[in-house]
Chain A
Amino acid sequence: MSWEWSVIWEYLPRLWQGALLTLELVFFSGLIGIILAVPLALMRASHNWVLRALPFAYIFFFRGTPLLVQIFLIYYGAAQFDVIKDSALWPVLKEPYWCAIIAFSLNTAAYSAELIRGAIQAIPKGEIEVSQALGMSKATMIRRIILPRSFGIVFPAYSNELLLMLKGSALASTITLLDLTGMARTIIARTYTPLEMFFAAGMMYLIIAGVMIGCFRLLERRINRYQYYKLDPSQR
């Protein structure tokens, strides 16, 4: 089997187009996902059992089923019902782009909520006690103590979740979207050069992941800067 570099160069602009869509999907899904995840996590960490139980079924479903199944249910499944096709939701659900965003957002929100819940419960009890002793209201405590502290704790695990979502976004290609994977597969259908195209697409995923990892590092240093305290050399 011969290796054709030229075919990679020829189709690089189209792969790049696909990569942009991948980035867009990951960015918006990540954003919506985290916005959903925070209140869900607070509910899950609540002492009130009703509040704790409410998001359980949702999180259980999205963590317990494959992402591909979720995408298919939202894209092909929802379209089977006339109720949905006649509703105001249809202009949104009709578009594969929004179906992908919805599926990815709900999926990542479920995982992130559990991550953040774990982080909230990992905050040393003393810190909560101190904030109570200072007479903080519940809202102030959440805003000033619980959320900032839990973000610091959750960050390494959460960056992992975002990387998993970057790769999970390849499933967008199954609902006609031309993301990086979809674009590569469409090009392969024409050129029959799967090794070259998947190699090129894989490299692009690596580059995107590399940039993401770099950003996470910087953010982590900023958020958890107290952990990076250096001894003052003059005091040794």
Chain B
Amino acid sequence: MIRKLFAAGIALATLAAAPVTLAADKIRIATEGAYAPFNMVDSDGNLIGFDVDIANALCEQMEVECEIVAQDWDGIIPGLRARKYDAIIASMSITEERLRVVDFSEKYYSNVLAFVAGKDKNLDVSKKGLNGLVVGAQRATIAGQMLEDKYSDVVTVKLYDTQDNAYLDLASGRLDALLSDKFPAYDWLRTDDGQGFEFKGEDLDINDEIGIAVRKGDDLKDDFSAAIKAIVANGKYEEINKKYFPFSIY
């Protein structure tokens, strides 16, 4: 009993000695929680996935305490700017438009896009082949923008709040095809619901690097970049990558 009290006393003393650094070192990280296998919610309501594992590995590397919170995609950048959290690790592409309002770390993986459609469909993913079809994508993503910019003159574009809703409509037949980031789609194709579907045509390499968003001018940007390099070098990254994909996504 006395020993326990003593231990508690020491713990309290150390806490009291370093309250400033503790408070300052706690980093709040937002992720979406609806973008399997990068970030999703398990049956107990915990956030899991590649992004979450990377976030934890980076925090461990940086020796800081982190709290990971879920935030809807639409409001994820406004929330960062409103200081609800300090960083976004949510498979966010580094784009010029986003760089106007936030800073990004170095990439922690690279994204490619791919069309997904039913196995029974003989789909030619050229503009000519897609003519007149209904194609979906998630709102506020590169895939969504690409559909609107490059394909909206030949296809009917439908934008969804979450990727899950887009999969539902692909499965129900409301969509002829889906333009999506390839890696999460790879994960979906392995589920029961995704059995009837496959990738169509070549991947669309869009020179799309995924980084960690922080507020403009925040030093955290360099800390994250250094930590990414470190976990790539020490093999921790590969370990996490293997857990989700048989190929490297860096």
Interface residues of A (CB under 8 A from B): 1, 76, 79-80, 85, 94, 96, 174, 176, 185-186, 188-192, 194
B118-160, CB under 8 A of A: which get 1 and which 0?
0000000000000000001001110011001000000000111
Q: List 13 A-B contacts (CB under 8 A).
A: A1-B81, A76-B165, A76-B169, A79-B168, A79-B169, A79-B171, A79-B174, A174-B161, A176-B136, A176-B158, A188-B74, A189-B74, A189-B159
Return the contact of B159 from the options A79, A176, A192 (Cβ within 8 A): A176
**Which of B22-30, B56-64, B96-104 interfaces with chain A?**
B96-104
Q: Is the CB of A185 within 8 A of B172?
A: no
Q: Which 4 A-B pairs have the closest CB atoms?
A: A189-B140, A79-B172, A176-B158, A76-B168
Q: How far is the CB of B160 from chain A (nearest CB, A)?
A: 6
B77 at the interface (CB under 8 A from A): yes
- Interface size range on B against A: 20 to 34
Instruction: Give the residues in chain B near A176, CB-CB below 8 Å.
Output: 136, 158-160, 169
Whole-angstrom CA separation of A201 from B141 in the bound complex: 22
Q: How far is the CB of B155 from chain A (nearest CB, A)?
A: 14
Q: How far is the CB of A21 from chain B (nearest CB, A)?
A: 14
Q: Is the CB of B78 within 8 A of A194?
A: yes
B9 at the interface (CB under 8 A from A): no
Whole-angstrom CA separation of A17 from B81 in the bound complex: 30
**Count the A-B residue pairs with Cβ separation under 8 angstroms: how many?**
48
B173 at the interface (CB under 8 A from A): yes
Q: How far is the CB of B230 from chain A (nearest CB, A)?
A: 31
Nearest to A190 among chain B residues (CB) is B145
Instruction: Give the residues in chain B near A80, CB-CB below 8 Å.
Output: 172
Q: Is the CB of B74 within 8 A of A185?
A: yes
Instruction: Give the residues in chain B near A79, CB-CB below 8 Å.
Output: 168-169, 171-174
Whole-angstrom CA separation of A190 from B78 in the bound complex: 13
Whole-angstrom CA separation of A80 from B173 in the bound complex: 10
Whole-angstrom CA separation of A176 from B141 in the bound complex: 15
Nearest to B136 among chain A residues (CB) is A176
Q: Is the CB of B74 within 8 A of A85?
A: no
Q: Is the CB of B77 within 8 A of A192?
A: yes
Q: A186-B159, A192-B100 are in contact. List 14 more A-B contacts (CB 8 A).
A: A1-B81, A76-B169, A79-B171, A79-B172, A79-B174, A94-B173, A96-B174, A174-B161, A189-B141, A189-B145, A189-B159, A192-B77, A192-B97, A194-B75
Instruction: Give the residues in chain B near A191, CB-CB below 8 Å.
Output: 97
Q: Is the CB of B98 within 8 A of A192?
A: yes
Please indicate which of the listed interface residues B74, B77, B174 has the most CB atoms of chain A within 10 Å of its own CB. B174
B165-197, CB under 8 A of A: which get 1 and which 0?
100110111100000000000000000000000
